[in-house]
Structure 1
């Protein structure tokens, strides 16, 4: 589906953070009143070293707080790169999927998207979505820890 207008960011970038920095962002969800959600990694049986780089998607918007608030109303599950079509797919809830962003398919962008997907696989599917006022900022107004999961058996 097409992404509702209120969920569109102005810029985005593939990024990576050490797991220790991801944990700091997760702790800010309660203490700094940041929008977002975490995962119970212990319950999921996921063990990650503090220095492991976790791939993510940083989204910048001049209306970052309203964007994060709207995003917080969704059950954000994962983001994946659709390499064949040059777009990012946002999975929400049980079966919702949105075209979250598009990019021009060039050898460079395809390589970057492939590397991002490979980094997710290296972390067992763990990745994140960060919403910021500016891509160069260290502050997030929204942070979601996400996990790629295989579809359930039928």
Structure 2
């Protein structure tokens, strides 16, 4: 809305559908994953390290998007760990990673890439505990205006990322 070319009330140029998620290509698999949270200051630090370190990923211009977040806010994310973290991050870097959502009915995580591609990124055993965790993660995303991240690491206990993408859930365009 702060972009100089923004026109309130203008119609979208094209309508997008929400396609059924496909099977994840073999080269994009991680070995482990976990729902995580980082303070916005740590997220900003990771995004700034994309320019200074040899890390794959992408950030967002939160000011241009009009997103104002308190410094104490925890940003939800997905940490993926694998012994082949660098190759996985390189493959992910070749995609336009848009967002990740927890699909509660299918007990899966959906990775949206590009304009209309969705993959089943991971699945989990559907139990009351896992469903509550996925619901809490989605609620945390909603509380941040859809802001979340994807971090690729060699180990889930590591503080270092080899890939970091700051993501945003956007509502579907009006039709």
Helix, strand or coil at the partner of 1:145 = strand
CA deviation profile, 1:92-126 (whole Å, cap 9, x unmatched):
01100000000000000000000000000000000
Match of 1:115 in 2: 136
Q: Is 2:150 the counterpart of 1:137?
A: no
TM-score relative to the length of structure 2: 0.87
Q: Distance in 2 between matches of 1:87 and 1:58?
A: 15
Q: CA deviation at 1:151?
A: 1.0
CA deviation profile, 1:27-46 (whole Å, cap 9, x unmatched):
11010121000011111000
Q: Is 2:48 the counterpart of 1:56?
A: no
Helix, strand or coil at the partner of 1:99 = strand
Match of 2:105 in 1: 84
Helix, strand or coil at the partner of 2:132 = helix
Match of 1:44 in 2: 65
Match of 1:28 in 2: 49
- Root-mean-square deviation (Å): 0.5
TM-score relative to the length of structure 1: 0.99
Q: Which ranges in structure 1 are unaligned for 5 or more consecutive residues?
A: none
Q: Is 2:128 the counterpart of 1:104?
A: no
Q: CA deviation at 1:153?
A: 1.6
Task: Extract structure 1 runs of 4+ deviating beyond 3 A.
Answer: none
Q: CA deviation at 1:53?
A: 0.2
| Aligned residue pair count | 154
